[in-house]
Chain A
Amino acid sequence: MPATIRLQSADFDAAAEAALLTRGRTDIGAVVTFTGICRGDEAGAPVAAMMLEHYPGMAEAEIARHVEEAEARWPLLGVTIIHRYGRLVPGDSIVLVVTAASHRGDAFAAAEFLMDYLKTRAPFWKKEKRPDGVSWVDAKSGDDTAADRWTERRPAAE
């Protein structure tokens, strides 16, 4: 399965990336693209800008491990993940996940799985600039809950 993982400070073109995945192929019946965008407010407080820090080397490796896991779970025909780093302002794109499959169910599920893991396991950290100063964004428990639902729960050994 073709998999593309890129970390970059530059913007990306979601439509162009989706077209690259499907070009020349007739086996793909579904492409899901998800784009995460920098919001201009967080919990009611305005955000002027955001700095995204990452762990070079590990970030690519960690995302690749999750792409492999997604590929093992669903019959995917292509995946593209682009995550930006550096300074972003409200309205800027942050992350792109594109999944291709024969049928939409697999493409939707894999895209959601990959996003949930990107939020909680990929080594990126957001720092927000607000009117009252600059602060690191706290991890949200809701993101952990979203990621945990993909973990197969086994009954505890007696």
Chain B
Amino acid sequence: MSVKLLYFAWVRERIGKGEEVVEPPSGLTTVADLMAWLAGRGEEYAFAFENPKVIRAAINRVHVKASAPIAGAAEVAFFPPMTGG
């Protein structure tokens, strides 16, 4: 299952790209699993996800918790807490 990943703000800067398409291994069930898998993909990913508790996520453009299932996700985004307004 391929998933489009989007990164914003310092998550994007640490990883060095704003988006990519990945093929996560089967067995990953939650957003937290996906973050843990990404953190193992290289130094830049380990840096971006070094403190997963502060990273927010969205699936298909809706905010989700780290415990949310990723089954059926076409687009998953990772970003720091928002500072708009």
Chain A positions near chain B (C-beta within 8 angstroms): 36, 52-55, 57-58, 61-62, 83, 94-95, 115, 118-127, 136-140, 143
Contact = CB atoms under 8 A, between A and B. Distances in A.
B9 to A, nearest CB: 4
Contacts of A121: 63, 82
Contacts of A62: 61-63
A70 B58 CA distance: 22
Given A139-B82, A139-B83, A55 B8 contact: yes
B6 interface: yes
Interface of B: 6, 8-10, 58, 61-63, 77, 79-85
B6 to A, nearest CB: 7
Contact of A124 (B61, B63, B85): B85
Contacts of A125: 8-9, 79-80, 82-84
Q: Which of A58, A83, A120 has the most CB of B within 10 A?
A: A58
Contacts, number: 73
Contact of B79 (A94, A118, A123): A123
B82 A136 contact: no
Contacts of A126: 83-84
Nearest to A120: B82
A44 to B, nearest CB: 18
B9 A53 contact: yes
A95 to B, nearest CB: 5
A123 B80 contact: no
Contacts of B83: 119, 124-126, 136-140
A96 to B, nearest CB: 11
B10 A136 contact: yes
Contacts of B77: 55, 58, 123
Contact of B80 (A115, A122, A139): A139
Given A53-B9, A55-B77, A83 B61 contact: no
Nearest to B6: A55
B9 A122 contact: no
B58 A118 contact: no
B84 A115 contact: no
A105 B22 CA distance: 49
A61 B77 CA distance: 14
A123 B9 CA distance: 10
